[in-house]
A and B are shown apart, each in its own frame.
Chain A
């Protein structure tokens, strides 16, 4: 079974085993688990083959948006990522077009119920819940609709501790725990209805919002729509990009952190923003090998502390590199990358092929705008918050949700409260991208006593360390929380700053038991890599450069999920030690033989309808500038996901052909946002069978 055991942060739930059958072979799922996750946990990664070109299909969005995970369950074609396993479910791959089961009996029909509310919040993530809390405090009736089973949006997938400000947005707390806190806070209010497993299908012109709630279709009539639906991952076009095993970091986190499915052995990541860097850390926590991360820019865009964590653990980071192709017969087997020049064009001769079974695409996010666009078309009042408004960290989304919640309450006349002027400044700080990077530590000269060392050289909005020190000995040398921390005063080696730091970027150096060989305390979150007293471990500096093999003198379980490893090291390296290497560099080594890229004309641009770059480019070259016409000519965008994946790629192709995007007519958006069976709009399910 491909299940994650001994995750450092997540506890395995003791769910009952549910039997099901894949091609008549008996398998087991966890009760309540989505079929896609159960299949992957049982080693099934190929879910069928496309009707158009017989290409293998597997998990892609893990989010109900596309249909690439379609399988046949009990005779019905369904999206396996959104369908819970039922006892003794008969499941088979979807080979080509599925057969629609014959049904003789007419179902009972129902009237569609209509529900009024003051505010409909779409998305119960950090922004939506924070906004909901403010609205609830102002006595507003709200429905928060979220398409997932678990409330909290992407927070429930975040096992790492959060950056930002302790006071304003739970910095230093793990995302999964923030979600629990937000839900607990909001659950106290009777005017709040939280609807999980509720997919918003469309906002209609008669100002009604169609929602499929637990499989029951209903219409909600809100006075105000608040779009807190978050963001959508961007996709990259390259040969092999639709092979099973190539997917977004979000899908990966869903499999690994929500369902504790060990989806992969060897992961390669494209994109060095926070999403990619964190996904890499999550993979390591799940006991997978991370065989590399490629970033097209000269420097990773994510926080340096996230980057440093990966480097310290032994993950090679290829900056100024891009993906050339993904290869494999039925499933991903390797990725080929190459160095790029200043114009981001691959440099011939620099290609490397790296073995991996999973390729995560983490090249940025786009706000999900369709809800507010349709609300606007219907003439409804609407607001947006969080990533749906502007892409930023979750800490920023929570603060923005709070501000937006008050704005909505004001609009409804529920409060006279003015939003404090300093809040907008605070919001700006929380949104800040990484600032200046310093090349040197603020040197601590002394070689006596005990003190923390901050391996934190980049200005980011983060302050948990200063708030946790019992003697207030840690300060930020700046007016805002963007500055770097420094130490002055008393330290008793309590280790609180070590375990609270989201970047795991603080160590303690203790000279109290000897001047020549001080003890260095290092935070550690990897139970799979058993480190015990007496072991020899390789310690590395902030850049992951190996320093020495040193002896572990003590292992402390200081916090349930974070250990502190104490090593003895000579004083010349003690202050440089930033971490322990856990991954053998050998697993990341490129193959001797490079797989050269296929012709990029073959690249699939529209994965739902299997439309190649050549088919699209030919029409662009013939002068087709209306994307609606392009769709009609090629079917690109006509598939299940509704152009959510290919639109950006097609726009990029227009740019490549020398078009100004202002001259391109965009696709018309139509209902539904997500496909659902006709029966969901008509059938009275309470009278089933």
Chain B
């Protein structure tokens, strides 16, 4: 720790975004401090993520950020030795309705135009990819074999320890209570105060609260999702399976089988449940079990080991909010809408280029489209 508490950059939040941002800034010789209110890194929503990582989004900015993330995840072990359980197990969106088939095929064209490896597989082909999945009404599926998965907490811990090697400082169990703009930002926690010319808001669920400290209204509203993990069994399928259909009280749900045989799953409630209550509800397990077994009858004998509830820090249009603000030096890495883990390293790289004045033309376009000052009227088709 530095004695005078003066830093180049202060990052608020040691989660999916804050830690990789600290990593790449520290790697580029910035003096970085990360302030986290919990006891260790990744104890907010990062550990609630199920670990899926894909580039197959519907818009250019998220696609390019994710491609950069995948580069980081997929080469990490080779570069640094830590096993973060990265695997290119692919993503699939099986279609069981005409509308979904049409929507997915339209999107597929856009995605292919961005150079993504995504194809349409027939019903028969898909039944080989996911043996035993319900063939009732199955019309085929998208399949993007280069998407993948990694362990959110092993990745985040690897980024954390590496960032400390590069010189990043962290304080835990400290909550930011005010930010004052003088010549620099004066960031006060419930224990100490710190100073830096640049502050990065990576506060996840608390992004809006932190924004208010510098008079910014950041439209991030957390909504809750519940997820779970099963016992390990021999592997019988690889890709993430996303069922886009709606059910009673829910929209889509998705799951995949990890290398150790455990299946991780998560469902999107409808209507959304706003707020940050993370206690388990009695609704989740019957709801998700019924839907998963209906899709994949084989799952009925699989034991649920643990469940949890976490939040998507959501924005009105479903896209993240990144980059500079009218409060000069106050930078945003917020509103990840449940994709903070997969976008984190890409965001870290992008914000590092922003602070080192190395933005490309594409970067600038991407930041414009994700700016706080954009029109939030659009909608992400593929949340």
Stretch in B57-65, B108-116, B227-235 touching the partner: B227-235
Stretch in A181-189, A201-209, A446-454, A489-497 touching the partner: A201-209
Stretch in B16-24, B73-81, B284-292 touching the partner: B284-292
**A626–B281 Cα gap in the complex (Å)?**
26
Q: Judge whether B249 is part of the interface by a CB distance below 8 angstroms.
A: no
Could you give, for residues 32-51 of chain B, a 1 whenever the CB lies within 8 Å of some chain A CB and a 0 otherwise?
A: 00000011111100010000
A202 pairs with B280, CB closer than 8 A: yes
- A98, A107, A377: the one contacting B297 at CB < 8 Å is A107
B293 pairs with A672, CB closer than 8 A: no
- A109, A628, A678, A683: the one contacting B304 at CB < 8 Å is A678
B297 pairs with A112, CB closer than 8 A: no
A99 pairs with B233, CB closer than 8 A: yes
Least Cβ distance of A380 to chain B in Å? Answer: 12
- Report if A100-B286 is in contact (Cβ < 8 Å); known contacts: A205-B279, A672-B306: no
**A676–B307 Cα gap in the complex (Å)?**
12
B282 pairs with A98, CB closer than 8 A: no
**A219–B283 Cα gap in the complex (Å)?**
10
A97 pairs with B232, CB closer than 8 A: yes
**A345–B280 Cα gap in the complex (Å)?**
44
Q: Which residue of A lies closest to B231 (CB)?
A: A675
- A51, A106, A205: the one contacting B277 at CB < 8 Å is A205
Could you give, for residues 616-644 of chain A, a 1 whenever the CB lies within 8 Å of some chain B CB and a 0 otherwise?
A: 00000000111011001100001110100
Could you give, for residues 51-73 of chain B, a 1 whenever the CB lies within 8 Å of some chain A CB and a 0 otherwise?
A: 00000000000000000000000
Q: Which residue of B lies closest to A98 (CB)?
A: B233
**A86–B134 Cα gap in the complex (Å)?**
30
Q: Which residues from chain A contact B277 at a C-beta distance below 8 Å?
A: 205
- Report if A683-B43 is in contact (Cβ < 8 Å); known contacts: A670-B308, A678-B302: no
Least Cβ distance of A568 to chain B in Å? Answer: 63
Q: Judge whether B4 is part of the interface by a CB distance below 8 angstroms.
A: no
A640 pairs with B279, CB closer than 8 A: no
Q: Judge whether B132 is part of the interface by a CB distance below 8 angstroms.
A: yes
B298 pairs with A100, CB closer than 8 A: yes
Q: Which residue of B lies closest to A207 (CB)?
A: B282
Q: Which residue of A lies closest to B158 (CB)?
A: A633
- B39, B236, B285, B300: the one contacting A626 at CB < 8 Å is B39
- A51, A101, A217, A629: the one contacting B42 at CB < 8 Å is A629
- Report if A632-B154 is in contact (Cβ < 8 Å); known contacts: A102-B298, A106-B293: yes
- Report if A670-B303 is in contact (Cβ < 8 Å); known contacts: A51-B232, A77-B233, A626-B39: no
- Report if A678-B234 is in contact (Cβ < 8 Å); known contacts: A112-B286, A628-B43: no
Q: Judge whether B153 is part of the interface by a CB distance below 8 angstroms.
A: yes
Could you give, for residues 209-238 of chain B, a 1 whenever the CB lies within 8 Å of some chain A CB and a 0 otherwise?
A: 000000000000000000000111111100
Q: Judge whether B131 is part of the interface by a CB distance below 8 angstroms.
A: yes
Could you give, for residues 112-150 of chain A, a 1 whenever the CB lies within 8 Å of some chain B CB and a 0 otherwise?
A: 100000000000000000000000000000000000000
Q: Which residue of B lies closest to A52 (CB)?
A: B260
Q: Judge whether B183 is part of the interface by a CB distance below 8 angstroms.
A: no
- Report if A100-B40 is in contact (Cβ < 8 Å); known contacts: A106-B297, A670-B306: no
Q: Which of B136, B153, B292, B301 has the most CB of A within 10 A?
A: B301
A205 pairs with B40, CB closer than 8 A: no
B131 pairs with A102, CB closer than 8 A: yes
Q: Which residues from chain A contact B39 at a C-beta distance below 8 Å?
A: 625-626, 628-629, 665
Q: Judge whether B245 is part of the interface by a CB distance below 8 angstroms.
A: no
- B131, B290, B307: the one contacting A682 at CB < 8 Å is B290
- Report if A205-B231 is in contact (Cβ < 8 Å); known contacts: A626-B43, A675-B305: no
**A625–B43 Cα gap in the complex (Å)?**
13
Q: Which residues from chain A contact B47 at a C-beta distance below 8 Å?
A: 628, 632
Q: Which residue of B lies closest to A642 (CB)?
A: B306
A682 pairs with B157, CB closer than 8 A: no
A 1-52 contacts with B by CB, 8 A: 51
- Report if A100-B154 is in contact (Cβ < 8 Å); known contacts: A628-B39, A629-B43: no
B303 pairs with A629, CB closer than 8 A: no
- A97, A677, A680, A682: the one contacting B234 at CB < 8 Å is A97
B231 pairs with A103, CB closer than 8 A: no
Q: Which residues from chain A contact B157 at a C-beta distance below 8 Å?
A: 629, 632-633
Q: Which of B234, B235, B299, B305 has the most CB of A within 10 A?
A: B305
Q: Which residues from chain A contact B305 at a C-beta distance below 8 Å?
A: 639-640, 642, 672, 675
A100 pairs with B281, CB closer than 8 A: no
- Report if A67-B231 is in contact (Cβ < 8 Å); known contacts: A103-B298, A204-B281, A206-B282: yes
Least Cβ distance of B187 to chain A in Å? Answer: 23
Least Cβ distance of B377 to chain A in Å? Answer: 35
Least Cβ distance of A635 to chain B in Å? Answer: 9
B282 pairs with A208, CB closer than 8 A: yes
- Report if A677-B306 is in contact (Cβ < 8 Å); known contacts: A98-B233, A103-B132, A208-B282: no
Q: Judge whether B294 is part of the interface by a CB distance below 8 angstroms.
A: yes
A 657-689 contacts with B by CB, 8 A: 665, 670-672, 675-683
- Report if A205-B281 is in contact (Cβ < 8 Å); known contacts: A677-B303, A678-B302: yes
Least Cβ distance of B238 to chain A in Å? Answer: 15
B154 pairs with A671, CB closer than 8 A: no
- B38, B260, B280, B283: the one contacting A671 at CB < 8 Å is B280
Least Cβ distance of B279 to chain A in Å? Answer: 3
A217 pairs with B286, CB closer than 8 A: yes
B234 pairs with A102, CB closer than 8 A: no
- B236, B286, B302, B304: the one contacting A672 at CB < 8 Å is B304
Q: Which residue of B lies closest to A79 (CB)?
A: B303
- A206, A378, A638, A680: the one contacting B283 at CB < 8 Å is A206
Q: Which residues from chain B contact A638 at a C-beta distance below 8 Å?
A: 306
Q: Which residues from chain B contact A656 at a C-beta distance below 8 Å?
A: none
**A677–B277 Cα gap in the complex (Å)?**
26
Least Cβ distance of B22 to chain A in Å? Answer: 16
Q: Which of B41, B235, B280, B294 has the most CB of A within 10 A?
A: B280
Q: Which residues from chain B contact A205 at a C-beta distance below 8 Å?
A: 277, 279-281
Could you give, for residues 185-229 of chain A, a 1 whenever the CB lies within 8 Å of some chain B CB and a 0 otherwise?
A: 000000000000000001011101010000001010000000000
Q: Ordered nearest first, which 5 A-B pairs have the shortest CB separation? A: A679-B300, A205-B279, A626-B40, A632-B153, A204-B282
Taking A103-B298, A106-B134, A629-B39 as given, write out 18 further A-B residue pairs in contact, using a Cβ cutoff of 8 Å, ordered by the A residue number.
Answer: A76-B301, A100-B233, A102-B298, A109-B294, A204-B281, A205-B277, A206-B281, A632-B153, A632-B157, A671-B307, A672-B307, A677-B301, A678-B285, A679-B301, A681-B285, A681-B290, A682-B286, A682-B290
Sample (17) of A-B pairs whose CB atoms are under 8 Å apart: A96-B234, A100-B302, A101-B301, A107-B300, A109-B293, A206-B281, A625-B40, A628-B43, A632-B47, A633-B154, A665-B39, A671-B280, A677-B302, A678-B289, A678-B300, A679-B289, A682-B289
